[in-house]
Each structure stands twice: as structure tokens, then as C-alpha cells.
A and B are shown apart, each in its own frame.
Chain A
Amino acid sequence: AQKITQTQPGMFVQEKEAVTLDCTYDTSDPSYGLFWYKQPSSGEMIFLIYQGSYDQQNATEGRYSLNFQKARKSANLVISASQLGDSAMYFCAMREGSGGFKTIFGAGTRLFVKA
């Protein structure tokens, strides 16, 4: 069964520094997509970045990059040059190729950016 694990309930980072949010996953499907979403205090979920299981290179979107280590089944999010506006909940998610339309989410990591 597919599963997403985020082991960091909360993280602190100094403004302008980089931070890594951990995500491990479990699936027996060779085809899957991995996603990261941001949830500010307003509650709305915002898509950040995704990585396909067959993608050869790690995905990047501006200050966000996904450190994809397939053998270790990890998909960590790296935020470079943290900004105060990055303070939010971050969720890792996965969708299996054979799983139809189901995207499952991890429990999330709350990031606090300090000035």
C-alpha cells in the first residue's frame, strides 16, 4: 500500500538560509509522481513542485528543488534562500500510476522562518 512519511513535525530556519524538509514514501508501483504542496495560515493548498518516478533529473522550480533518491525512496524538498513568507505547513504527496485518481498526503512539516 502506498504511504508517505514526514518525520519532522516542525522546523526552524534562519532567513536567507537553505532548509531541507524530509519525505519518504513507500509504493510497489514502478510508476508514480511525487508532489510538494505549501499551506499558509490562510489554509489554501498551493502546488510547489513535482517529480515523476522515471524522471532522470531532480525537479527544480525557482527556489524549490526536489532531492529525489529513488533507491532510498526519499523525495526531500529543498528551499534555498528562505524568506519570511515561506513560513507555512508543507506537505509531501504521492500518486501511483495504477492508483487511479488518488493522491495521498503526508502529515506535514511546519516551517518557521526566523528574521
Chain B
Amino acid sequence: SQTIHQWPATLVQPVGSPLSLECTVEGTSNPNLYWYRQAAGRGLQLLFYSVGIGQISSEVPQNLSASRPQDRQFILSSKKLLLSDSGFYLCAWSVGQKGGWEKLFFGSGTQLSVL
């Protein structure tokens, strides 16, 4: 069965420090991968998605970047964190379903606090 691993679960970082959040998927090949951010009490905002190794699409211009060095690995990074980068970050994956719509499978999330 497919599983998604996301770490760390919580992270407290000072302003101006770098960031690296990692997500890996097991049990499937060539998944579509996504990074979402959820502000407190709000809905999810799509940050990046990837349909293959090295292929990254950015939805919102910001202080963050994403990379996909391997088929089932997705990394969210920042060189210098801002206070506004605080939030709950969720990694997700999907695969094309013939005759249906792709549903998203989410990781357990990372709560990032930038102080």
C-alpha cells in the first residue's frame, strides 16, 4: 500500500535561517507531488506541484522553493525564512485515475514557527 512520510512534525526557526522540509512517498511510481500551506484557521494554499523529476511548478511567488531530486522525494526549501513563512505545511501526492478525478493523499504535516 502507498504511504507518505513528511518530517519534521514541528519546527521552530529564527528569522533569516534556512529551511528544508522533506517528503517521500512509498508504494507508487511517478506520483504527482504537491506542497500546500495552511495558515491558522484557514484553507490550504497550493505552493508547488511536480509531475516528474526536476519538474517544478510554482503557484505563488514567495520566499520558498521546491525540488524533486528523485521520483518519490519532494523537498521544500528556503534560504532565509520570514515571519510570514510560519504555518502548517502539508505534502501530498496523487496519481492519474482512469475515468475519475485524482484525489490527494496527504502527509501528516509540519508546523513551522518562525520567530
Question: Interface residues, chain A, CB within 8 Å of chain B?
Answer: 4, 33, 35, 37, 42-47, 50, 52, 91, 95, 100-108
Q: Which of B34, B100, B106, B108 has the most CB of A within 10 A?
A: B106
Known contacts A44-B107, A105-B44; A52/B101 CB under 8 A: yes
Chain B residues with Cβ below 8 Å from A107 are 42-43
- Complex CA distance for A1 and B103, rounded to whole angstroms: 21
A50 to B94, CA, bound (A): 14
CA distance A107 to B45 in the complex (A): 10
27 sample A-B contacts, Cβ–Cβ < 8 Å, listed by A number: A4-B43, A33-B101, A35-B101, A35-B103, A35-B104, A42-B108, A43-B90, A43-B108, A44-B109, A45-B92, A45-B104, A46-B106, A47-B105, A50-B100, A50-B101, A50-B103, A91-B43, A91-B44, A100-B57, A101-B49, A101-B51, A101-B57, A102-B49, A103-B104, A105-B45, A108-B41, A108-B43
Q: Residues of B within 8 Å of A, CB-based: how many? A: 27
Distance in angstroms between the alpha carbons of A12 and B8 in the assembled complex: 33
Q: How many A-B residue pairs have CB under 8 A?
A: 61
B106 and A44 contacting across the interface, CB-CB below 8 Å: yes
Q: Do A47 and B104 have beta carbons less than 8 Å apart?
A: yes
Residues of B within 8 A of A50 (CB): 100-101, 103
Most chain A CB neighbours (cut-off 10 Å) among B34, B44, B92, B94 = B44
B106-A45 in contact (CB<8A): yes
Q: Please, which residues of chain B bring their CB within 8 A of the CB of A95?
A: 101-102
Q: How far is the CA of A100 from the CA of B106 in the complex (A)?
A: 19
B64 within 8 A of A: no
Contact between A102 and B104, CB atoms less than 8 A apart:
no
A interface footprint on B24-42 (CB within 8 Å = 1, 0 otherwise): 0000000010100000011
